[in-house]
Structure 1
Amino acid sequence: MLWPGTLIGAGAGYFIASIPGAMLGALLGQTLDRRLQLHSWAHLRERLGGRATLRNDELLFVLLGRLAKSGGRVVEKHIEQARQEMRHLDMSAAAQQRAIAAFNRGKSGRDSLRGYLGRLKTQPHAAEGVLRACWRMMVADGRVDPKERELIVLWGRWLGWTPQQVQALGADYEPQKKPLATRGGTYQQSLTLLGVTASSDPEQIKRAYRRLLSRHHPDKVAGTGASPAQVREATEKTRELHHAYALIREQRGFR
């Protein structure tokens, strides 16, 4: 791959001192590319515009932020899903702060992501992990907006996936919805689902919710060699846990 600094250095060097100058310029430009992490012309434009290039641990959350915003506005369920991804990745406090900043950066939609995603083509496991996290964000609010679907198909193509493969992956996260309960009886059912009672304090409820999410997370189930049907069941269980926790928080008035 010829990176922008390399090309600019080679061109300037050739103009100044012909072939020897081009070789020296290319070497200096390559050093600049590596130091500034310039992988494409889009990255160069970002740096010239005062925007830092994305670290590997920031890219995912830029994608999630853009997905959350693409449907029109970011809602609490999107934010909670981003927090869940941080917990799933066991991020340190500093990494979480970078992830939050990246999520907010993603909402602006100003980053050119093709070059970043293109680098993951040679890392199939990482590429799949990114797409799965994107699907989880897409269904966090209970629906998939057409703009969100267009984005994930586009990103999948940049990762080397066909639209059919991306849609097939989504089958793990778009199961047939089962009616959770009518509004009148939901609170008690939600308490039962989380294994808590009406007298449990908020911290107990949060711990129960996180413990159950960790146990039923689709990625964790998939890692045990489970069948696609079992992964879909875990995805539906996770969705029910999200709904139950949100309803309990609303009823009890805590964040």
Structure 2
Amino acid sequence: MFWPLTLLGALAGLLLASIPGALLGGLLGQVLDRRLQLRSWADLRLRMGGKPVLGEQELLFVLLGRLAKSGGAVRPAHIQQAREEMRRMQLDGPAQQRAVEAFNRGKTLADDVRRSLQPLRGQNVAAEGLLCACWRLVWAAGQVPPPARELILAWGQWLGWRRAAVLALEAPYVRRASGVVRSADAELEALRLLGVSSEASPAQIKQAYRRLLSRHHPDKLAGAGAGAARLREATEITSELHRAYALLRQRRSLR
């Protein structure tokens, strides 16, 4: 481990007041290194980059947004899983709105996530929670695109985790190796996609389907002047909603 401010403080102290100055400067530098969690020159450069470090909650949803977009198009399963994380964290209305904004911003690649991950190095509980949430999101859609896996592995490295340790966190979320989804799993996936529980009534399922369809329908976005990429994304989301509802109509004899 290398402490950049410790070295700079010691050198400055040596120039100003010989050996006693070097000892004092090194001590003060080490205090700053520990407080700022600087372990290398790269850490120091990131700290001096000018962009603010994101808080843990904001950082989480920026990462989730980036993962959701890494496969090309954000899928309804990704959006629903992000909502699940909000519920898991018991976020209130304003906090949920900030989370949505962070998720959308994550899709734009605007934030320097590496700089924001650096303060969490050594905080194993916080880092593990962050990485597990990332694995939950990418597996929510049933498969993990290679770019998404590489992102999570890179983030784990920036957090100071070994590759094997990051991959070990994925294990609880991995689907069956054959990729075959059982019938019961398909129904649960459809319910989760619509944002309703397994105990939902036919009326609740239909209401959730219509609400999501209205929100994501490409015709609605076209009237609002959305771009081509957003329209393609909306078309894919709408298709998944149709498939989920069709499966539930068949399994639950919905009218």
Structure-2 residue corresponding to 1:23: 23
- The equivalences for 1:55-66 within 5 A come to 55-66=55-66
**Matched residue type, 1:197:** P
The answer to whether the Cα contact below 8 Å between 1:81 and 1:137 also exists between their aligned partners in 2 is yes
The answer to whether the Cα contact below 8 Å between 2:36 and 2:119 also exists between their aligned partners in 1 is no
Structure-2 residue corresponding to 1:90: 90
Change (3 A) 1:8 1:177: farther
Matched residues in 2 for 1:33 and 1:141: separation?
A: 41
**Matched residue type, 2:200:** G
Matched residues in 2 for 1:244 and 1:93: separation?
A: 25
RMSD over aligned CA atoms reads 4.2
Deviation of residue 86 (structure 1)?
1.8
**Matched residue type, 2:122:** R
- The equivalences for 1:3-42 within 5 A come to 3-33=3-33, 38=38, 40-42=40-42
CA deviations on 1:85-143 (whole Å, 9 max, x unpaired) are: 121012345654554455456442633266345323xx3x5444333211111123333
Deviation of residue 246 (structure 1)?
9.4
The answer to whether the Cα contact below 8 Å between 2:5 and 2:30 also exists between their aligned partners in 1 is yes
The answer to whether the Cα contact below 8 Å between 2:64 and 2:134 also exists between their aligned partners in 1 is yes
Counterpart check, 1:178 vs 2:179: no
Counterpart check, 1:81 vs 2:81: yes
**Matched residue type, 1:138:** V
Counterpart check, 1:119 vs 2:122: yes
Unaligned runs of 5+ in 2: 212-239, 246-255
Q: TM-score, normalised by structure 2?
A: 0.57
Q: TM-score, normalised by structure 1?
A: 0.57
Matched residues in 2 for 1:71 and 1:132: separation?
A: 19
Deviation of residue 145 (structure 1)?
0.4
Per chain length, whose mean CA-contact separation is higher, i.e. which structure has more relative contact order (CA < 8 Å, sep 6+)?
2
The answer to whether the Cα contact below 8 Å between 1:37 and 1:53 also exists between their aligned partners in 2 is no
Matched residues in 1 for 2:71 and 2:112: separation?
A: 16
Structure-2 residue corresponding to 1:138: 138
**Matched residue type, 2:182:** K
Matched residues in 1 for 2:23 and 2:242: separation?
A: 61
Structure-1 residue corresponding to 2:67: 67
The answer to whether the Cα contact below 8 Å between 1:117 and 1:155 also exists between their aligned partners in 2 is no
- Residues matched between the structures, number: 202
The answer to whether the Cα contact below 8 Å between 2:64 and 2:137 also exists between their aligned partners in 1 is yes
Q: 1:197 aligns with which of 192, 202, 216?
A: 202
Matched residues in 2 for 1:14 and 1:95: separation?
A: 49
Structure-2 residue corresponding to 1:236: none
For structure 1, which segment, 78-87 or 147-156, has the greater mean C-alpha deviation from structure 2 after superposition?
147-156
Change (3 A) 1:8 1:146: same
Matched residues in 2 for 1:101 and 1:63: separation?
A: 12
Deviation of residue 52 (structure 1)?
1.6
The answer to whether the Cα contact below 8 Å between 1:135 and 1:170 also exists between their aligned partners in 2 is no
Matched residues in 2 for 1:100 and 1:3: separation?
A: 37
Change (3 A) 1:131 1:40: same
The answer to whether the Cα contact below 8 Å between 1:156 and 1:166 also exists between their aligned partners in 2 is no
Alignment partner of 1:16: what SS? Answer: helix
**Matched residue type, 2:112:** R
Deviation of residue 38 (structure 1)?
4.8
Matched residues in 2 for 1:45 and 1:142: separation?
A: 38
Identical residues among aligned pairs (%): 46
Deviation of residue 174 (structure 1)?
2.0
The answer to whether the Cα contact below 8 Å between 1:43 and 1:112 also exists between their aligned partners in 2 is no
